[in-house]
């Protein structure tokens, strides 16, 4: 057995899933999990919902406890950043200067929150990507009623706005698009979401941030950050604010990957097997891979994809290492089965969002559609279904406030792309049956 480890970079949902899948696939050699945060791997979707609301405490977000990690035999490096990767030798460089020669690498570094240069150094301006981000914002929201301006009306911004309103805060939601989540769900579903947010008391605005206003405090100590007091939009309007949340999207965390052998355009480019280079794989939000069914590169920042892709990347890496050096790798998995074979990663993409009492669930591809048909089944209850098409094929479906039985039937419509008219008929049958 080789003494070189497999290293998983990113102690995320994708990272811990990859580590477990490597063991299940038969890797019994050294296994290193590297994470730049000091926390054990935790789940991110509840950050903008249950944790921000105060319904959950951080311990509930943990994906595994220390005791549950023990059987994996991990070399766990928390609070450690990977700063470089030599692809030819599969050697990682860490922020303490260590060079770690690896048998294989799985990159699961996710994404980083975008911010605005004008927000640098201002107190009261937040992003929401990490556990520490969410706890800091929750702490400020817990001190009584606040005027919160959420910049960005995508999924994260909408979820945070909903939580803040439920907590009794005054909320303004600012986006470039006139309706919430338009890029992800289209205008029809976006209109329903806009109605729900307005009904709950959220002020919706369209525009871009031109500047932040601050409160002067003559008694503040030198070096104390200025406190945000308002947001000015490009049209000249001013929104008073005690707190500002920047939810303006994210950037794949690939800045540390400078090796020219890697394609870091919009994430880490991979083939259909999630391989970025021989022995180098990627999973989760950072990975852009060739989807064998849709026939084009895709990248998803959604929880389900992180788990599924991590399992695929781990299985395919072990299969590659077994073929590469069979004498140095397991003959079979720990349970005695045959070693895994490389298989293309071809999921039916899935994402969900919870806002107030509404649950949105989407399968397939909803963004970038050239054809969208939204059917509102009950406007007051916000019950609706939307079908998304591209080049004459139905490729995505979204259900809002529908029961599980109908959602399962709708998923089957877009498990593989089908002609648009056929999909429309199947959607009518599925919704009529409900």
Give the pLDDT band (50/70/90) at residue 332: very low
Give the pLDDT band (50/70/90) at residue 109: very high
Instruction: Over range 236-262, report the average pLDDT.
Output: 97
Cα–Cα distance measured from residue 366 to residue 372, given in angstroms and rounded to the nearest whole number: 9
Q: What is the pLDDT of residue 404?
A: 86
Give the pLDDT band (50/70/90) at residue 3: confident
Q: What is the pLDDT of residue 68?
A: 96
Q: What is the pLDDT of residue 134?
A: 98
Cα–Cα distance measured from residue 417 to residue 394, given in angstroms and rounded to the nearest whole number: 5
Q: Is the pLDDT of residue 333 over 70?
A: no
- Report in angstroms the alpha-carbon separations of 54 from 47, 119, 138, 164, 188: 10, 26, 7, 11, 32
- Locate 322 and state its tokens: 């077994």
Half-sphere exposure of 208 (CA within 13 A, CB side): 5
Q: What is the pLDDT of residue 119?
A: 94
The residues, ordered by sequence, that sit 6+ positions from 371 with a Cβ below 8 Å of its Cβ are 388, 389, 390, 420
Q: What is the pLDDT of residue 347?
A: 96
> Of 34-48, 125-139, 212-226, which gets the smallest average pLDDT?
212-226
Q: What is the pLDDT of residue 324?
A: 84
The H-or-E segment that residue 37 falls in is none
Half-sphere exposure of 139 (CA within 13 A, CB side): 9
Give the pLDDT band (50/70/90) at residue 408: confident
Q: What is the pLDDT of residue 331?
A: 47
Q: Is the pLDDT of residue 6 over 60?
A: yes
pTM recorded for the entire structure = 0.94
Cα–Cα distance measured from residue 302 to residue 305, given in angstroms and rounded to the nearest whole number: 6
CB 334: neighbour CB atoms within 10 A? Answer: 12
Alpha carbon 153 to its chain's center: 16
Q: What is the pLDDT of residue 361?
A: 96
Q: Model confidence over 303-316: pLDDT tens digits? A: 999 999 999 999 99
- Locate 414 and state its tokens: 């877009």
Q: Model confidence over 163-201: pLDDT tens digits? A: 999 999 999 999 999 999 999 999 999 999 999 999 999
Q: Is the pLDDT of residue 317 over 80?
A: yes
Nearest of 244, 301, 274 to residue 119 by alpha carbon: 244
Q: What is the pLDDT of residue 1?
A: 45
Instruction: Over range 230-257, report the average pLDDT.
Output: 97
Q: What residue spans of 299-419 are helical by DSSP H?
A: 303-324, 404-413
Cα–Cα distance measured from residue 272 to residue 251, given in angstroms and rounded to the nearest whole number: 22
Q: Is the pLDDT of residue 217 over 70?
A: no
Q: What is the pLDDT of residue 328?
A: 53
Q: Model confidence over 50-89: pLDDT tens digits? A: 999 999 999 999 999 999 999 999 999 999 999 999 999 9
> Of 79-83, 139-143, 214-218, 257-261, which gets the smallest average pLDDT?
214-218
Q: What is the pLDDT of residue 275?
A: 98
Cα–Cα distance measured from residue 239 to residue 180, given in angstroms and rounded to the nearest whole number: 18
Q: What is the pLDDT of residue 225?
A: 87
Cα–Cα distance measured from residue 13 to residue 106, given in angstroms and rounded to the nearest whole number: 13
**Contact between 284 and 16 (Cβ < 8 Å):** no
The H-or-E segment that residue 292 falls in is none
Beta-strand (E) ranges in 122-169?
125-126, 147-151
- Locate 417 and state its tokens: 């792309």
Q: What is the pLDDT of residue 337?
A: 56
**Contact between 179 and 190 (Cβ < 8 Å):** yes
- Burial (CB < 10 A; 0-12, 13-18, 19+), residue 144, is exposed
Q: What is the CA radius of gyration of the chain?
A: 23
% of residues, the chain, pLDDT over 90 = 87
Mean pLDDT of the chain: 93
Q: What is the pLDDT of residue 330?
A: 53
Instruction: Over range 274-292, report the average pLDDT.
Output: 98
The H-or-E segment that residue 200 falls in is none
Residue burial 16-45, b: 16+ Cβ < 10 Å; e: rest: bbbbbbbbbbbbebbbbbbbbbeebbbbbb
The residues, ordered by sequence, that sit 6+ positions from 76 with a Cβ below 8 Å of its Cβ are 11, 32, 33, 69
% of residues, the chain, pLDDT over 70 = 94
The residues, ordered by sequence, that sit 6+ positions from 167 with a Cβ below 8 Å of its Cβ are 53, 54, 141
Q: Is the pLDDT of residue 260 over 50?
A: yes
CB 329: neighbour CB atoms within 10 A? Answer: 22
Higher per-residue confidence, 339 vs 29: 29
Q: Model confidence over 386-398: pLDDT tens digits? A: 999 999 999 999 9
């Amino acid at each position: 057995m080789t003494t070189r480890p497999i290293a998983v970079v990113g102690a995320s949902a994708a990272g811990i899933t990859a580590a477990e899948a490597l063991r299940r696939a038969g890797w019994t050699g050294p296994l290193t999990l590297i994470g730049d945060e000091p926390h054990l791997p935790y789940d991110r979707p509840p950050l903008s919902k249950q944790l921000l609301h105060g319904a959950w405490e951080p311990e509930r977000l943990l994906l595994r406890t220390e005791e549950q990690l023990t059987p994996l035999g991990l070399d766990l490096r928390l609070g450690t950043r990977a700063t470089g990767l030599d692809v030819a030798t599969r050697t990682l460089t860490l922020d303490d200067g260590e060079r770690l020669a690896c048998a294989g690498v799985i990159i699961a570094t996710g994404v980083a929150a975008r911010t605005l240069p004008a927000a640098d150094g201002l107190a009261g301006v937040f992003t929401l990507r990490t556990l520490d981000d969410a706890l800091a914002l929750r702490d400020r929201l817990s001190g009584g009623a606040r005027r919160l301006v959420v910049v960005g009306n995508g999924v994260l911004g909408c979820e945070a706005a909903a939580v803040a309103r439920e907590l009794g805060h005054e909320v303004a939601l600012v986006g470039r698009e006139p309706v919430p989540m338009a890029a992800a769900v289209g205008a029809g579903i976006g209109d329903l979401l806009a109605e729900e947010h307005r009904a709950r008391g959220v002020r919706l605005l369209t525009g871009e941030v031109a500047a932040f206003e601050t409160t002067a405090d003559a008694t503040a100590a030198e070096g104390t950050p200025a406190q945000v007091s308002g947001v000015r939009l490009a049209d000249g309007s001013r929104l008073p604010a005690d707190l500002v949340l920047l939810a303006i999207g994210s950037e794949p965390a690939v800045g540390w990957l400078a090796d020219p052998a890697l394609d870091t355009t919009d994430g880490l480019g991979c083939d259909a097997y999630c391989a970025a280079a021989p022995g180098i794989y990627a999973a989760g939000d950072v990975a852009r891979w060739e989807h064998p069914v849709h026939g084009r590169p895709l990248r998803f920042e959604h929880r389900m994809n992180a788990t599924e892709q991590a399992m695929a990347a781990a299985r395919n890496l072990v299969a590659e290492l077994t073929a590469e050096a069979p004498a140095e790798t397991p003959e079979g998995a720990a349970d005695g089965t045959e070693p895994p074979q490389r298989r293309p990663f071809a999921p039916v993409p899935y994402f969900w969002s919870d806002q107030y009492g509404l649950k949105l669930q989407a399968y397939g591809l909803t963004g970038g559609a050239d054809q969208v048909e939204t059917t509102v089944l009950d406007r007051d209850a916000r019950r609706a279904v939307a079908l998304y098409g591209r080049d004459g094929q139905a490729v995505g479906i979204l259900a809002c406030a529908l029961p599980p039985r109908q959602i399962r039937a709708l998923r089957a419509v877009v498990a593989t792309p089908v002609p648009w008219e056929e999909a429309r008929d199947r959607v009518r049958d599925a919704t009529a049956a409900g």
